[in-house]
Amino acid sequence: MTVTEKPAEPIAPRARGGFRQSFSDSLVMGKRNLIRMLRIPEVVIFGLIQPIMFVVLFSYVFGGSINIPGAGLDAATYREFLMGGIFAQTVTFATAGASAGIADDNLKGLVDRFRSLPMARGAVLTGRTFADMVQTALTLVVLAIVALLVGWRTHENFLKVLAGFALLLFLGYAFTWIGALIGLSVRTPEAATSGGLVWLFPLTFISTAFVPSQNMPAVLQHIAEWNPFSATVQAARELFGNIPPGYPVPDAWPMQHPVLASVLWSIVIIAVFRTLAVRKYKSATA
């Protein structure tokens, strides 16, 4: 009587645990994505062109034609009022890049390869979002230089201005987790790019980014004032000293306490969408 031995099933490597290991793995993945961005410089260049166009077009096309309560139709005042919105729009539009990048990795099978390695499960996504934040920071630097050239100025001390940019980056980082979830939920990078942008336009335009909420119909006014995007825009304006004298700040709580509201909104978005994205990553590649 012969006994046929059953071949042993391959055992997938177990991910190493612990915060330190997870942090280390995330840095490795972040470095990998940064190197990839450097090897495709046109992605960074085209990412800079769009916000620069927005700055120039809004400053010189709409400047002087939009009434700012307390300041009227002054073009210089509108430029300073505008820049908080342009900065915030720029950091949130990084969502589309995160979506497309993760969808591309997934399509090429790289996500499955990463999953086969003994690394923290959330490191792939954390590294990607970290790299996107670095790219966004670079974009903000270039955009700030362009804004200075068209007449934007800050009227607060350096620490407050730095805090304003930190809040903008924090919001951008939070939104890249939404992009990560979208990238894992679609099949192609093209679909990810569309899915990462289509909902951003109403979010950014039904806000206080480009026009005061007082100029909107009553229903849209309430939506704009409680929009998480508006809270960060208002916080940036406050920290940059770009709120015009005499401008009536809306009574909504996020507008009265924009810095705190911005931090809370970003924390909630990260907590919710990071959890959903990591869960989707585990189930989609299992």
- Tell me what pLDDT residue 17 has: 54
Backbone phi and psi for residue 216, each to the nearest 5 degrees, phi listed first: -100, 160
Q: What is the pLDDT of residues 75-115, one digit of tens each?
A: 788 888 889 999 999 899 888 878 888 888 888 887 777 77
Q: Which of 127-131, 159-163, 235-239 has the lowest mean pLDDT?
A: 127-131
Q: Which of 37-46, 165-174, 217-226, 258-267 has the lowest mean pLDDT?
A: 37-46
Residue 286 has pLDDT above 60, yes or no: no
- Tell me what pLDDT residue 49 has: 82
Residue 257 has pLDDT above 90, yes or no: yes
The DSSP secondary-structure symbol of 79 reads: H
Q: Domain ranges in the chain? A: 19-61+71-284
- Tell me what pLDDT residue 48 has: 77
- pTM, 2 dp: 0.85
Q: pLDDT grade, residue 18 (50/70/90)?
A: low
DSSP codes of every residue in 7-29: PPPP-PPPPP-SHHHHHHHHHHH
Q: What is the pLDDT of residues 171-200, one digit of tens each?
A: 999 999 999 899 888 888 888 888 878 888
- Tell me what pLDDT residue 240 has: 95
Distance CA 165, CA 160 (A): 9
Residue 4 has pLDDT above 60, yes or no: no
Residue 258 has pLDDT above 70, yes or no: yes
More confident residue, 129 or 17: 129
Q: How far is CA 20 from CA 240, 278, 279, in A?
A: 36, 18, 21
Our measurement of the distance from residue 88's CA atom to the centroid of its chain's CA atoms, rounded to an integer in Å, reads 8
Q: What is the pLDDT of residues 226-235, one digit of tens each?
A: 999 999 999 9
SS3 of the chain: helix, strand, coil, percent, to 5: 70, 0, 25
Encoded tokens for 162: 């730095």
Mean pLDDT across the chain, nearest whole number? 84
- Tell me what pLDDT residue 12 has: 45
Backbone phi and psi for residue 251, each to the nearest 5 degrees, phi listed first: -80, -10
- Tell me what pLDDT residue 16 has: 53
Distance CA 113, CA 218 (A): 51
Backbone phi and psi for residue 261, each to the nearest 5 degrees, phi listed first: -60, -40
The 3-class secondary structure across 134-192, one letter per residue, is: HHHHHHHHHHHHHHHHCCCCCCCCHHHHHHHHHHHHHHHHHHHHHHHHHHHHCCCHHHH
Over residues 268-273, mean pLDDT: 96
Residue 9 has pLDDT above 70, yes or no: no
Give the percent of the chain with pLDDT over 70. 92
Q: Residue 145, CB half-sphere, CA atoms under 13 Å: how many?
A: 6
Residue 26 has pLDDT above 50, yes or no: yes
Distance CA 217, CA 101 (A): 38
More confident residue, 278 or 33: 278
Over residues 1-29, mean pLDDT: 61
Q: What is the pLDDT of residues 192-249, one digit of tens each?
A: 888 878 888 889 999 999 888 888 898 999 999 999 999 999 999 999 999 988 888 8
